[in-house]
Structure 1
Amino acid sequence: MMATETQGALVLFSGGQDSTTCLAWALDRFPRVETVGFDYGQRHRVELDCRSKLRDELSRINPAWANRLGEDHTISLSALGEISDTALTKDIEIEMVSTGLPNTFVPGRNLIFLTFAAALAYRRGLKHVVGGMCETDYSGYPDCRDDTIKALQVALNLGMERRFVLETPLMWIDKAATWQLASSLGGPRLIDVIVEDTHTCYLGDRGQRHDWGSGCGVCPACDLRTKGYNKFVAEKTRTVETPHG
């Protein structure tokens, strides 16, 4: 039976830095928050294994968050992996291709994710669908652009006769600001959780430990995370050292 629509939220929750920050953002704003992850045969499927612990850790950070955090859902999208010939779904070297995009781009991925998420939100009675898409600091993926998300919101609302709101709290901030947002939401405890327990590396490497967390350290995802963390730490240090008054 379809639930009555509420002001609750469904967060696209992969187990990575961005989606964990988005989950904290949603828990800070909405009375009921559920999560959904997608298994599409991704090379870095280890990210899905991080999700349960991350949900538990966020619940411990803030009692209000614990009360608001609802069910978790995992949706199998194996067909997406089967039709994708990309460095995220095949064991091939990451590189730029003739289109000008990196071969980590999985065509249609975010469009499919958001469509399935909206269908789930429809059934669960949740108005807000939250994703970590970002146009400011990403790998050039066209399905991360604000225009794409706005167009899809219109299509979903027309096709389902609902008034979903596709929330993208990271859309106009860089990775350093994403770290800062996490700090403002959950303080040092949330930063520690993101460093220790989230997964970003495209290669699925959890064996190498860095200041910002675990990963190969060289893939595009690790590179963005490294630069963002270093900038965040540098800005935080400058703020502490700058005299006031």
Structure 2
Amino acid sequence: MATDPRKALVLFSGGQDSTACLAWALSRYSAVETLGFDYGQRHCIELECRLRVIDELRAAFPDWSARLGEDHVLDLRLLGQISDTALTSERAVEMQANGLPNTFVPGRNLLFLNFAGALAYRRGASVLVGGMCETDYSGYPDCRDNTLKALQVALSLGLDAPMTVETPLMFLTKAQTWSLTQRLGGDALNALIVEHTHTCYLGERGPLHPWGHGCGHCPACALRQQGYEGWRAGGAGAELPA
């Protein structure tokens, strides 16, 4: 049963991490809505997958469905127009001289959270939930804890209303993320994540691997596969912090 009476807005892409965050929010808050973004990404498969994941969650978890409210999608394609990255144009995924992969979209999470805060304000929500993580990640600076804490302060001040930014995966490895969803929704939830969520940077669905669909080679697929295998092996990395 949810124990927090507040309404939460989950930044929901349809990927593994945002699905884990949605399940986490549904197990905690009395009301939850979801928000996706069309930001000119090079493939639209994640926008299609997110709707399927929501439908599957509703069907498999009736208690969560009762608390899962409206889904929203915002058109932020201007971001894609000013970005020259492997996520917004047909380019090979590679490392850059600054140590970041060229999948980094500058300002993406900053923009996402500002728009999410504005929508949450109008929808009566005071909690924003995102899947940002600085443990097993690609090094994106807008996924770091300090960035999100600063945004929380800025949003609360700018809206003149408390706005909490929750990042339940921030200090979890990918193996621990699989462990978290197992704890939240058991085999049914992890099977749903394997079958229906999308993480691959190249937008490939293709064959179903044990850890899900994807090219199997890009950094996102590699992290997902390694995390899954670590969780299945039952290593210490899959244990959740106390």
1:63 Cα deviation (Å)?
Answer: 2.1
Match of 2:27?
Answer: 28
1:141 Cα deviation (Å)?
Answer: 0.2
The reply on whether 1:69 has 2:100 as its aligned counterpart is: no
**Whole-Å separation in 2 of the counterparts to 1:102 and 1:53:** 29
8 Å contact kept, 2:195–2:208: no
Q: How does 1:227-238 map to 2 (within 5 A)?
A: 227-235=226-234
**Whole-Å separation in 2 of the counterparts to 1:56 and 1:213:** 18
**Whole-Å separation in 2 of the counterparts to 1:62 and 1:28:** 11
Match of 1:125?
Answer: 124
The reply on whether 1:180 has 2:183 as its aligned counterpart is: no
The reply on whether 1:49 has 2:16 as its aligned counterpart is: no
1:64 Cα deviation (Å)?
Answer: 1.6
**Whole-Å separation in 1 of the counterparts to 2:99 and 2:200:** 21
Larger Rg: 1
Q: How does 1:115-194 map to 2 (within 5 A)?
A: 115-194=114-193
RMSD: 1.2
TM-score (structure 1 length as normaliser): 0.93
TM-score (structure 2 length as normaliser): 0.94
8 Å contact kept, 2:156–2:162: yes
* Number of aligned residue pairs: 232
**Whole-Å separation in 2 of the counterparts to 1:53 and 1:98:** 38
1:75 Cα deviation (Å)?
Answer: 0.3
**Whole-Å separation in 2 of the counterparts to 1:143 and 1:208:** 32
**Whole-Å separation in 2 of the counterparts to 1:140 and 1:50:** 25
Match of 2:12?
Answer: 13
1:57 Cα deviation (Å)?
Answer: 1.4
8 Å contact kept, 1:15–1:47: yes
Q: Once superposed, which parts of structure 1, at least 4 consecutive aligned residues long, lie more than 4 Å away?
A: none
Identity %: 64
8 Å contact kept, 1:61–1:186: no
Partner-residue secondary structure (3-state), 2:71: strand
Partner-residue secondary structure (3-state), 1:134: coil
**Whole-Å separation in 1 of the counterparts to 2:95 and 2:44:** 22
Match of 1:102?
Answer: 101
Partner-residue secondary structure (3-state), 1:129: strand
CA deviations 1:2-54 (Å, max 9, x no partner) are xxxx7110000000000001000000000110000000111232011011121
Paired residue type of 1:233 = R
**Whole-Å separation in 1 of the counterparts to 2:62 and 2:189:** 14
**Whole-Å separation in 2 of the counterparts to 1:187 and 1:60:** 15
Match of 2:87?
Answer: 88
1:207 Cα deviation (Å)?
Answer: 1.3
1:121 Cα deviation (Å)?
Answer: 0.1
CA deviations 1:81-115 (Å, max 9, x no partner) are 00000000011111111111110000000000011
Match of 1:196?
Answer: 195
1:160 Cα deviation (Å)?
Answer: 0.7
User: Which runs of 5 or more structure 2 residues have no equivalent in the other structure?
Assistant: none
Paired residue type of 1:196 = E
1:120 Cα deviation (Å)?
Answer: 0.3
**Whole-Å separation in 1 of the counterparts to 2:42 and 2:15:** 14
8 Å contact kept, 1:142–1:148: yes
